[in-house]
Amino acid sequence: MSNRLLGGLAVVFTVVVLAPATRAGQEETYTPPRTEWGDPDLRGHWLPGAYQPMETPTGDSWRPPEGANRGQGAAFSRFFEPDPETARPERVRTPMVVDPPDGKIPLQSWAAEQRGQIMSNQDKLEHLDPRVKCLPSALPRANLPVGYNTYQFLQIPGHVVILYEWNHLYRYIPLDGRPHVDPEIRLGMGDSRGHWEGNTLVVDVTNFTDNTWVVGHGAPPEGAPASALTTGHGVFHSTALHVVERFTLTHTDTIHYEATIEDPNVFTRPWKVEYDAFKRAPANHILYEYACHEGNGRNISLMTGTDIDTAAR
Amino acid sequence: MRLILILGLTAVAGVHVVWAQEHPGAAAYQKVCRTCHGPEGRGDLAPPIASMAFDVDYVVAVVREGYGQMPPISTRELTDTEVAQVAEYLKSPAEAQGSTYQGPRTSAGHPDLNGIWQVLSTAAWDIRAHNAQDGVPAGLSVVEGRDIPYQPWAVTKQQENYANRLTADPVRKCYLPGVPRITYMPFPFQILQTPNYVVMTYEFAHTVRIIYTDDSPHPLPNDFWMGDSRGHWEDDTLVVDTTHFNDRTWFDAAGNFHSDALHVVERYTPTNPYHVNYEVTIEDPEVFTRPWTIRMPLYRRVEEGLQLLDYDCVDFILQSLGSP
């Protein structure tokens, strides 16, 4: 491990320790506006927050070759080094994973091995990123900063609704304390049940499928060894996935987001990500139609050897 | 007892709602009377006159001679026949307002459409009259006047589409179904109604329509599978104007089609908390000889604990094409 990397890590750990105190302070001083019916008001259009590495990297520090496509939003060990193009003030170097404190996703050992397989075999169909297939993002992945995604939050009494531009996903979050849907039911974006704790929207999400990933953002740069990636790619889950989210308006233009992730079939313990996920969009922003699958014919043909436009079902 | 009677009459009157705006007196009223009495006869500069059940001779007398602040109105402005029609039009407050809706309203005063809805018809397979096939129920035409006014070349094209429908139907590839087809897909959909947006989320392939009801215009000329939808309320009717389509969607699984010049105007008119009259005018000068209309009811789903579930079409098609 190079000295430069060690220096970077020291900075990271300092920030990790200090960050929660700052955030708590913000929550105390900022009073969010309320809807006409008295709920904290999250309504509006939102953009993704700053790109940020998911995990503290393991293995070798890796640099993309000169001139290579570095992958949009991909976070790898270079994030922890001084940035030669320092004009990226929005880059946040702290890992999103705040618990466990080492900033690493607590995969069971077989799952860590499986993740390595997935990451090293992204050209194989069975390991392909489910988002490349235009399957739902699941959670908290849908709330990670990636390109081609913006958000619209809507509220009516008793409901918060989140629209995701990427792949026209949506979530109805009822706030009336109703129980989760039948345990037999599987939902790509999970089954959301919310309530307010002070100014924070707390959402309990269950009933996920098992064909999506928990996290992952951007595209990994070509040739990057899995051990150097911090994007959270390849982190699969079982149908036992349980996510508890906390959305807090900490500033007029920022929604701070926390997600506690639990899946006893895949992780050794619950873990938590925390970051500023949503930045208020300019006044004229709207969500456009993101027709994912409709433009995916070439990928589908590579995946299946079939031309979807002439295929019978 | 009286309340029951009123509700009963309302239910009967509801049958006529769709045609209320076509009442012969409506145009005359809008031309002359609305300036002072308001668009719905509820009064503005002049007193309310809707629902007063005036005698026709009395109305004619007041119109010709004037009354209080109201000036006399000549036969050049309104013929005697038109005055009589206006009088008839005013007799039913509900019909004068284009609505018999009795039910919850939002804080903005519009009928509250929030909730889960579904069409019960066979239009998803064929919007025209059709006999049953394996897996397809028979159905009557939802097209006003029965037939779709295709241009001659388009008749041939539709027949080709029909013959090739098992491979050519865009919905069989899990492509977004377009408008109005998404409405009558055999899946529930949920309406979220706020002052500036009416958002329709559909169980089929998690399709979303964001309908802007904030007086904003259509955007730059991009094309979309689901078009660009701008809405406004006309009395108790949500009118949605949708343009900017591509030419890749169909109206049903029977190959009825359009070009990218498609212009769709939907009218959602609730008659009570549980039923919406859904009327769609379809215009496409590239394919049809004239605009045409389809009609069907939307039914509110009332099952306790109901919520939209998933029909992740993409997952199914990838599996059927051999993806793991």
Pair B228, B244: CB distance under 8 Å: yes
Of A134, A163, A189, the CB nearest to B314: A134
Say if A126 is an interface residue toward chain B (CB within 8 Å).
yes
Q: What is the pTM of this model?
A: 0.79
- pLDDT confidence bin for A18, thresholds 50/70/90: very low
Highest mean pLDDT among A4-18, B65-79, B240-254 belongs to B240-254
Instruction: Scan for tokens 């949500």, then name that residue.
Output: B238
Is the pLDDT score of B174 beyond 60? yes
Higher pLDDT residue, B283 or A5? Answer: B283
Pair A55, A230: CB distance under 8 Å: yes
Q: Which two tokens stand for residue B284?
A: 């496409």
| Residue B15: per-residue pLDDT | 33
Of A135, A211, A313, the CB nearest to B320: A313
Reported as a single tens digit per residue, the pLDDT across B260-312 is 999 999 999 999 999 999 999 999 999 999 999 999 999 999 999 999 999 99
| Residue B16: per-residue pLDDT | 34
Helices B56-65 and B80-91 cross at an angle (nearest 10°) of: 120
Q: Which residues of A touch B305 (CB under 8 A)?
A: 178, 181
State the smallest CA–CA distance between residue B206 and chain A in angstroms: 6
| Residue B6: per-residue pLDDT | 36
Task: Please give the angle made by the CA atoms of B198, B204 and B209, to the nearest 5 degrees.
Answer: 25
Chain B residue nearest residue A300, CA to CA: B318
Is the pLDDT score of A184 beyond 50? yes
Is the pLDDT score of A191 beyond 80? yes
- Taking alpha carbons only, the member of B174, B168, B173, B31 closest to residue B89 is B31
Interatomic CA distance for residues B97 and A152, integer angstroms = 34
Alpha carbon of A73 to those of A52, A60, A213, A221, B38: distances in Å?
A: 8, 19, 17, 10, 57
The 10 Å Cβ neighbour count of residue B154 is 21
| Residue B12: per-residue pLDDT | 34
Is the pLDDT score of A136 beyond 80? yes
State the smallest CA–CA distance between residue B112 and chain A in angstroms: 11
| Residue B44: per-residue pLDDT | 66
- Taking alpha carbons only, the member of A131, A144, A128 closest to residue A230 is A144
| Residue B71: per-residue pLDDT | 84
| Residue A51: per-residue pLDDT | 75
> Is the CB of A178 less than 8 angstroms away from the CB of B305?
yes
Higher pLDDT residue, A22 or A208? Answer: A208
Is the pLDDT score of A255 beyond 90? yes
> Is the CB of B225 less than 8 angstroms away from the CB of A287?
no
Instruction: Scan for tokens 């055999």, then name that residue.
Output: B186
Least reliable range by pLDDT among A85-89, A113-117, B185-189: A85-89
- pLDDT confidence bin for B85, thresholds 50/70/90: confident
> Is the CB of A304 less than 8 angstroms away from the CB of B199?
no
Q: Which two tokens stand for residue B105?
A: 């309203």
Higher pLDDT residue, B320 or B253? Answer: B253
Reported as a single tens digit per residue, the pLDDT across B130-144 is 999 999 999 999 999
| Residue B321: per-residue pLDDT | 85
Least reliable range by pLDDT among A144-158, B172-186, B286-300: A144-158
Pairs from B261-265 (Cβ < 8 Å, separation ≥ 24): B261/B285, B261/B286, B261/B287, B262/B227, B264/B179, B264/B180, B264/B227, B264/B240, B265/B239, B265/B240, B265/B241
> Is the CB of A169 less than 8 angstroms away from the CB of B175?
no
Q: What percent of chain A has pLDDT over 70?
A: 75
State the smallest CA–CA distance between residue A278 and chain B in angstroms: 20
- pLDDT confidence bin for A221, thresholds 50/70/90: low
Q: Which residues of B touch A133 (CB under 8 A)?
A: 314-315, 318, 323
Task: Classify A283 as helix, strand or coil.
Answer: coil
**Domains with residue ranges and CATH for chain B:** 22-96 (1.10.760.10), 115-320 (no CATH)
Instruction: Scan for tokens 């750990």, then name that residue.
Output: A13
| Residue A7: per-residue pLDDT | 35
Across chain B, mean pLDDT equals 87
Least reliable range by pLDDT among A130-134, A226-230, B100-104, B125-129: A226-230
Name the B residues in 96-155 with CB < 8 Å from any A CB.
107, 114
Map chain B to HEC letters: CHHHHHHHHHHHHHCCHHHHCCCHHHHHHHHHHHHHHCCCCCCCCCCCCCCCCCCHHHHHHHHHHCECCECCCCCCCCCHHHHHHHHHHHHCHHHHCCCCCCCCECCCCCECCCEEEEECCCCCCCCCCECCECCECCECCCECCCCCCECHHHHHHHHHHHHCHHHHCHHHHCCCCCCCHHHHCCCCEEEEECCCEEEEEECECCCEEEEECCCCCCCCCCCECCCEEEEEEECCEEEEEEECECCCCECCCCCCECCCCCEEEEEEEEEECCEEEEEEEEECCCCECCCEEEEEEEEECCCCCCCCCCECHHHHHHHHCCCC
Reported as a single tens digit per residue, the pLDDT across A75-111 is 555 555 544 554 444 456 688 999 999 999 999 999 9
Least reliable range by pLDDT among A6-15, A195-204, A208-217, B76-85: A6-15
Which residues on adjacent β-strands are paired with residue B210?
B199
Name the A residues in 206-235 with CB < 8 Å from any B CB.
211
Phi, psi angles (nearest 5°) of residue A154:
-125, 150
Interatomic CA distance for residues B265 and B123, integer angstroms = 18
- pLDDT confidence bin for A232, thresholds 50/70/90: confident
What is the average per-residue pLDDT within B189-212? 97
Higher pLDDT residue, A252 or A308? Answer: A252
Name the B residues in 63-92 with CB < 8 Å from any A CB.
none
Is the pLDDT score of A279 beyond 90? yes
Which residues on adjacent β-strands are paired with residue A161?
A154, A172
From the CA atom positions of chain B, what is the Rg in Å? 23
Reported as a single tens digit per residue, the pLDDT across A41-62 is 999 999 998 877 888 877 666 6
Q: Which two tokens stand for residue B302?
A: 């009332």
Name the A residues in 293-312 with CB < 8 Å from any B CB.
293-294, 300, 303-306, 308-312
Say if B173 is an interface residue toward chain A (CB within 8 Å).
yes
| Residue B10: per-residue pLDDT | 35
| Residue A253: per-residue pLDDT | 96
| Residue B99: per-residue pLDDT | 64
Interface test with B, best of A193, A294, A301, A310 (most B CBs within 10 A): A294
State the smallest CA–CA distance between residue A310 and chain B in angstroms: 6
Q: What percent of chain B has pLDDT over 90?
A: 64
| Residue B3: per-residue pLDDT | 37
Pair B255, B169: CB distance under 8 Å: yes
Is the pLDDT score of A17 beyond 60? no
Say if B159 is an interface residue toward chain A (CB within 8 Å).
no
Interatomic CA distance for residues A182 and A203, integer angstroms = 17
Contacts of B195 (CB under 8 A, 6+ apart): B106, B108, B213, B214
What is the average per-residue pLDDT within A155-163? 97
Reported as a single tens digit per residue, the pLDDT across B42-76 is 666 776 676 555 677 777 887 888 877 788 888 88
Burial of B146 (0-12, 13-18, 19+ CB in 10 A): exposed
Interatomic CA distance for residues B2 and B103, integer angstroms = 17
Pair B122, B108: CB distance under 8 Å: no
Pair A163, A152: CB distance under 8 Å: yes
> Is the CB of A286 less than 8 angstroms away from the CB of B172?
no
| Residue B53: per-residue pLDDT | 59
Say if B206 is an interface residue toward chain A (CB within 8 Å).
yes
Which residues on adjacent β-strands are paired with residue A99?
A272
Across chain A, mean pLDDT equals 82
Say if A156 is an interface residue toward chain B (CB within 8 Å).
yes
- pLDDT confidence bin for A176, thresholds 50/70/90: very high
